[in-house]
Amino acid sequence: MIIECPECGAKNQIPQTPQSGKRYRCGKCHAEITLLEAVDTPIVKAEIHKTAETPTLATENTSGQGKLAVVPHKIKGWNWGACLLGVIWGAGNNVWWSLLIFIPYFNFVWFFVMGVKGSEWAWKSKRWDSIEHFKRTQKKWRDWGIGITAISFLIGFIIALS
């Protein structure tokens, strides 16, 4: 069962059967949350409390779970691989939004959107072993993107000089 933090929106895995009135602490923002009702829904409603000593919920690896995936704060930020490699990066990370790059004129904006949202989309679209695994893989995409872009500019410069 998953409890959604009303403070930050993080989805936290509940280790046992949920009970109304039971208190937990969000694994992301550490706000204390109390279950309002115990129901058989995938996400349980909760409210915030600012006091008491409650254990922090362990945030689990939710990568590859689509909209239910909780994107760790550590991986948010600019993604050079997504920005520079576009569709190639998208296919490798199961991010099919990257296909929008083929829309004329819109594609200039879409490169920036992919740079901003790429890490989040990749986390939600593909199963990763850990945050470290995700970062290592995205670093390789970044390196390839920078390398291919640099070589392309170099070739273009040489052709322009000819």
Whether the predicted model's global pTM rises above the 0.85 cut: no
Tell whether 99 is covered by a domain.
yes
Query: How many distinct structural domains can be found in the chain?
Result: 2
φ/ψ (deg, to 5) at 141? -60, -40
Tell whether 7 is covered by a domain.
yes
Local structure of 4: helix, strand or coil: strand
* CA–CA distance, 108 with 115 (Å, rounded to integer): 12
Query: Each residue's pLDDT tens digit in the chain (162 positions)?
Result: 677 777 777 777 776 666 666 777 777 777 777 766 555 544 445 554 444 444 444 457 889 989 888 888 889 999 999 999 999 999 999 999 999 999 999 988 999 999 999 999 999 999 999 999 999 999 999 999 999 999 999 999 999 998
* Residue 77 and residue 156 in one domain: yes
* Residue 37 and residue 79 in one domain: no
Question: What's the sign of the alpha-carbon dihedral 2, 19, 54, 31?
Answer: positive
